[in-house]
Amino acid sequence: MEEDSWPDADGDGWGDATAAAVRGCSPPAGHVANAEDCDDGAAAVGPDAPEARNGTDDDCDGDVDEGLLLPFHPDADGDGSSRGAPWTSGTPTSPATRAWRRL
Ligand SMILES: [Ca+2]
Ligand SMILES: [Ca+2]
Ligand SMILES: [Ca+2]
Ligand SMILES: [Ca+2]
């Protein structure tokens, strides 16, 4: 019985989700029978990988850093201090909103 397989360039056991399938009786060398690797250039990224707070989708579920965003105080008035501002959550992106780390 012929099966589809996909290249696994990083060797993590997950096939490249963006590559074309190869059909054959058994997967060729370097190929696996799934296409679930959202980053076939990083062995640390795959459906069974833990999500790490690094700005990339490590576990290939389509969400980046889900469940790992820290609560922080936004610096709404831009004075470099967010003391007294309400807690929110997300990834602080600007130096101003990272001011809470210094409190
Ligand atoms: Ca792979
Ligand atoms: Ca991978
Ligand atoms: Ca994810
Ligand atoms: Ca991540």
Residues 57, 36: contact at Cβ < 8 Å? Answer: no
pLDDT digits (tens, 9 = 90+) for 20-75: 999 999 889 999 999 999 999 999 999 999 998 898 999 999 999 887 766 666 67
Distance 17 CA to ligand 1 centre (A): 9
The rounded distance, in Å, linking the Cα atoms of 26 and 101 is: 53
Distance 49 CA to ligand 1 centre (A): 12
The rounded distance, in Å, linking the Cα atoms of 59 and 65 is: 9
Q: Where are the domains of the chain?
A: 1-62, 69-103
Distance 83 CA to ligand 3 centre (A): 31
Distance 4 CA to ligand 2 centre (A): 18
pLDDT digits (tens, 9 = 90+) for 9-35: 999 999 999 999 999 998 899 999 999
Neighbours of 46 (CB within 10 A): 22
> Which ligand minimizes its atom distance to the CA of 9?
1
> Which ligand minimizes its atom distance to the CA of 62?
3
**Which residue, among 74, 68, 69, 70, has the nearest Cα to 100 in the 3D structure?**
74
Contacts of 50 (CB under 8 A, 6+ apart): 58, 59
Kindly tell me the number of DSSP H helices and DSSP E strands found in the chain.
0, 5
